[in-house]
Amino acid sequence: MPVLRDAWATLVPDMNGADGPLPPLLLALTVLTGLVDAFSYLLLGHVFVANMTGNVVFMGFALAGAPGFSVLASAVALASFLAGAWSGGIAVHRAGADRGRRLRHALLVETACVAAALTVSLVAGGPYTGGVRFTLIALLGLGLGVQNAAVRALAVPDLTTTVLTRTITGTVADSRLAGGTGSRAGRRGLSAAVMLAGAVAGGLAVLGDVHELPLLLALMILLAAVAVTVLLGRGDPPWTKPRVTT
């Protein structure tokens, strides 16, 4: 089946292809998104650190007087994310045209942010309130902003790691039932599935009172991703070249 072949090619890509190991790496970062957004929404007071569309909506809810939402928390998340995107842009542009180096530089910054957030959560313990809460929001928002800047620069189709609305829309709108080609349905479906898996894992950890586990898992994913970019980026392989879009 084309969908299964597409999914398999995303999970086990051609290392000599245009994107090499980037698709599975970005799927891993999509799992990370589910983990950290589960942590932030369930423990930091109805705020996302990766999904800025949600934060804008939450800010609207707070301004309307809905209970459980905070204008300040959403604003801190949004400002931190923007700062991260700016920092990620600097890291990406200073890395030159090499996509492996671009991703690695951004992941190192994000790793530092997540490691700092994990340290704060371990030292402070729960529940996370006051300055601890806003510190965690700021650190994670900063890290996810960096991630988004890097992913945008890599330009791997249908793997944004955070935004699924267009991905899901494309899956349906481009399907054969809609008269389309059904292209990349497997990849798009995987992207949604792994974010769901990350959110489920993060939710189970939080509800099971293992509050730091989502951040620990996120940190492990980042360290593994950095290692992969180092090991597979040697020797100037094709996937490190700028992607030619048509």
pLDDT (tens digit, 0 to 9) for every residue of the chain, 246 residues total? Answer: 678 888 888 998 888 888 999 999 999 999 999 999 999 999 999 999 999 999 999 999 999 999 999 999 999 999 999 999 999 999 888 888 899 999 999 999 999 999 999 999 999 988 999 999 999 999 999 999 999 999 999 989 889 898 887 777 777 877 776 767 766 778 888 999 999 999 999 999 999 999 999 999 999 999 999 999 999 988 889 999 987 654
Q: CA angle at residue 206 from 46 to 187, to 5 degrees?
A: 80
Q: How many CA atoms lie within 13 A of 189 on its CB side?
A: 16
Establish if 216 belongs to a structural domain.
yes
Helix (H) or strand (E) holding 64: none
Establish if 149 belongs to a structural domain.
yes
Establish if 238 belongs to a structural domain.
no
Task: Count CB neighbours of 86 within 10 A.
Answer: 14
Establish if 69 belongs to a structural domain.
no
Q: Is 196 exposed, middle or buried (0-12, 13-18, 19+ CB in 10 A)?
A: middle
Q: Report the alpha-carbon distance of residue 157 to residue 167 in Å, rounded.
A: 10
Establish if 109 belongs to a structural domain.
yes
Q: Report the alpha-carbon distance of residue 214 to residue 32 in Å, rounded.
A: 8
Structural domain range at position 87: 2-10+25-45+78-232
Establish if 186 belongs to a structural domain.
yes
CATH at residue 116: 1.20.1250
Query: Rg of the chain's alpha carbons, rounded to an integer?
Result: 18
As for how many domains the chain has, the answer is: 1
Establish if 68 belongs to a structural domain.
no
C-alpha dist (Å) from residue 171 to 9, 189, 190: 17, 7, 11
The structure tokens listed for 29 are 């970062």
- Is residue 239 within 8 A of residue 21, CB to CB? The reply is yes
| Predicted pLDDT of residue 246 | 45
| Predicted pLDDT of residue 182 | 66
Establish if 101 belongs to a structural domain.
yes
| Predicted pLDDT of residue 244 | 67
